[in-house]
């Protein structure tokens, strides 16, 4: 059916068109990102022709697009990150999808690498532009760089340093900042926390291999422990919520039976919709105006996009606790014995992960 409808051919032409797209229209073009996700989903099910690598027809043949589908989409995403602040969340979410959802073979790994290079260049460039503010654009850019870093740490580190001297430190410091519970914007979704755990673990390993030590390592490892705790809490909370929902469903069924016999039920009862007062209205808009003046306002379209759950593809199958365990087991003499960690953090970490108790004897 896919071949009969010539889906691959149509998508190839579409990808080539958006790769050269320079006429951004906010409301209309946001739908492009949903189409991108759907195309990746279709490829995962049916394996579209020309998706990762463009097949070159034998000569003589009519002119064909030079880029594969994913390369055309990647060009659009890179441009969107750099040029369209209102689309930052959606564009960065596509970074994870394009890097981790398709199945890349050794022969096509070069395409993935070129995508990671383009995405990390665009993201660090934009991050440097907005780093003076603590606005909502930080998080998607940091996580996009994290995805690229997980794929090619050495290459991405070089790109970050080329973008600005100390670029790797800028990214690492900002990533540690969003790990804090009180950070705004902070990590909220499990997929964000999982991605951050893996990125910080990889970063720490790279820094240790380079002979780095001191505050940089301590900050990263402290943030790694904290976000690991938060991820564990989020998952435990979801399990408890699932149990509570099951009990609520049972209670609701009993309540429905009782309501059947209740003749006094008032259909018109209910709470009235809250109406904002004039004073609250003025206060809200004054706050928005102040944020806009300070350059920290959320760009149009981004406020609702913050609720989007990241799709991290094949990273979902990786056990991030195995990554953490491997890091601690291999480098505990530096990370635990050589650093001074907050006692409260250690206690909370061991409460969440008692399996690591033997590594933290010095804190007892």
* pLDDT at res. 106: 94
* CA 253 to centroid of chain Cα atoms: 39
The answer to whether residue 258 sits within a structural domain is no
The answer to whether residue 1 sits within a structural domain is no
* pLDDT at res. 196: 97
Band (pLDDT 50/70/90 cuts) for residue 60 is low
Picking from 178-187, 269-278, 306-315, which range would have the lowest pLDDT averaged per residue?
269-278
Q: Which structural domain range is residue 205 located in?
A: 7-54+62-239+311-363
The answer to whether residue 282 sits within a structural domain is no
Q: Which two tokens stand for residue 257?
A: 């039976």
Q: What is the pLDDT of residues 286-315, one digit of tens each?
A: 565 555 444 444 444 445 555 667 899 999
The answer to whether residue 45 sits within a structural domain is yes
The answer to whether residue 291 sits within a structural domain is no
Sorted by sequence, the CB contacts under 8 Å of residue 216 that are 6+ apart come out as 169, 172, 207
Picking from 51-65, 97-111, 217-231, 331-345, which range would have the lowest pLDDT averaged per residue?
51-65
Helices vs strands, H then E, count in the chain: 15, 0
Peptide bond between residue 60 and the one before it cis (omega within 30 degrees of 0): yes
The answer to whether residue 222 sits within a structural domain is yes
Tell me how many domains the chain contains.
1
Q: Which residue has better confidence, 176 or 271?
A: 176
Q: Which 3 state secondary structure label does DSSP give 131?
A: coil
* pLDDT at res. 305: 58
Q: What's the rounded mean pLDDT across residues 251-279?
A: 52
Residue 163 has pLDDT above 90, yes or no: no
Picking from 7-21, 286-300, 334-348, which range would have the lowest pLDDT averaged per residue?
286-300
Q: What's the rounded mean pLDDT across residues 217-241?
A: 91
* pLDDT at res. 266: 45
* pLDDT at res. 264: 47
Q: What's the rounded mean pLDDT across residues 275-290?
A: 57
Picking from 4-13, 143-152, 174-183, which range would have the lowest pLDDT averaged per residue?
4-13
Concatenating the DSSP letter of every residue in 288-340 gives HHHHHHTT-SPPTTHHHHTTPPP--GGGGGS-HHHHHHHHHHHHHHHHTSSS-
The answer to whether residue 279 sits within a structural domain is no
Residue 68 has pLDDT above 90, yes or no: yes
State percent of the chain over pLDDT 70.
Answer: 74
Q: Which 3 state secondary structure label does DSSP give 56?
A: coil
* pLDDT at res. 178: 92
The answer to whether residue 182 sits within a structural domain is yes
With tokens 């043949």, the residue in question is 61
Do the beta carbons of residue 302 and residue 89 sit within 8 Å? yes
């Amino acid at each position: 059916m896919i071949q009969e409808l010539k889906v691959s051919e149509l998508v190839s032409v579409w990808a080539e068109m958006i790769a050269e797209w320079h006429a951004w229209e906010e409301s209309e073009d946001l739908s492009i990102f949903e189409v991108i996700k759907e195309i990746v989903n279709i490829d995962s099910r049916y394996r579209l022709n020309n998706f990762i690598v463009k097949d070159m027809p034998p000569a003589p043949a009519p002119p064909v697009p030079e880029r594969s589908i994913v390369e055309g989409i990647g060009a659009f995403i890179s441009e969107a990150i750099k040029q369209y602040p209102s689309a930052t969340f959606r564009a960065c979410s596509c970074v994870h999808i394009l890097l981790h959802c398709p199945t890349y073979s050794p022969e096509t790994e070069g395409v993935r690498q070129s995508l990671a290079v383009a995405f990390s260049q665009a993201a660090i460039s934009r991050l440097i532009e907005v780093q003076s503010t603590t606005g909502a654009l930080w998080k998607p850019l940091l996580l996009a760089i994290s995805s690229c870093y997980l794929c090619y740490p050495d290459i991405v580190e070089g790109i970050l340093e080329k973008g600005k001297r100390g670029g790797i430190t800028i990214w690492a410091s900002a990533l540690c900042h969003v790990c804090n519970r009180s950070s705004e914007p902070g990590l909220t979704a499990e997929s964000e926390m999982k991605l951050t755990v893996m990125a910080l673990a990889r970063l720490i390993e790279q820094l240790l291999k380079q002979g780095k030590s001191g505050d940089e390592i301590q900050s990263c490892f402290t943030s790694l422990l904290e976000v690991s705790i938060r991820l564990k809490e989020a998952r435990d909370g979801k399990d408890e919520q699932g149990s509570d929902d099951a009990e609520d469903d049972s209670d609701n069924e009993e309540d429905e039976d009782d309501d059947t016999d209740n003749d006094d039920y008032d259909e018109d009862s209910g709470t009235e919709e809250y109406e904002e007062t004039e004073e609250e209205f003025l206060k809200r808009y004054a706050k928005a105006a102040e944020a806009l003046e300070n350059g920290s306002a959320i760009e149009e379209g981004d406020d609702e996009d913050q609720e989007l759950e990241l799709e991290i593809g094949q990273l979902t199958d990786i056990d991030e606790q195995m990554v953490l365990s491997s890091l601690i087991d291999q480098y505990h003499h530096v990370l635990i014995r050589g650093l001074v960690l907050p006692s409260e953090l250690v206690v909370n970490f061991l409460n969440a992960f008692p399996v690591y108790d033997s590594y933290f004897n010095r804190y007892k």
